[in-house]
Amino acid sequence: MTDPTPCAPTGDITIFEIAEFKGQLQAAIDLGHGVAIDLAQVGTLDISALQTLIAACEAGPIELRNTPKRIAGQLACLGWVPPKGCKVTYVD
């Protein structure tokens, strides 16, 4: 079995940065091995990030790794419920 393709965005993922993040994510998805998104270095997320993550989960197996509690809180405030097949790991 092949490991998922890593994707490690840094900084904010908001409407202003979403095109770059979507491009990175799409390139990883296109490889067909699933994607491991490392959220450790992400600052702020907005609804455009949430929409992109949901679409990615529908496209194939996605893992959200190293998700800080503050990011988990932002996702929860935006209404995030991990879809079936989307694995999330948290860090303190």
pLDDT in tens, 12-39: 999 999 999 999 999 999 999 999 999 9
Please say if the pLDDT value at position 92 is more than 70: no
The dihedrals phi and psi of 12, each to the nearest 5 degrees, come to -80, 150
Percentage of the chain beyond pLDDT 90 is: 84
Residue 44 in this model has a pLDDT that exceeds 70: yes
d(CA 56, CA 22): 9
For residues 13-46, b (16+ Cβ closer than 10 Å) or e, as one string?
beeebbeebbeebeebbeeeebbbbbbeebeebb
* Residue 60 clears pLDDT 90, i.e. is over it: no
Higher pLDDT, 50 or 84: 50
Mean pLDDT, the chain, as a whole number?
93
Q: Which of 84, 18, 87 is nearest to 46 (CA)?
A: 18
Domains of the chain with CATH codes: 5-91 (3.30.750.24)
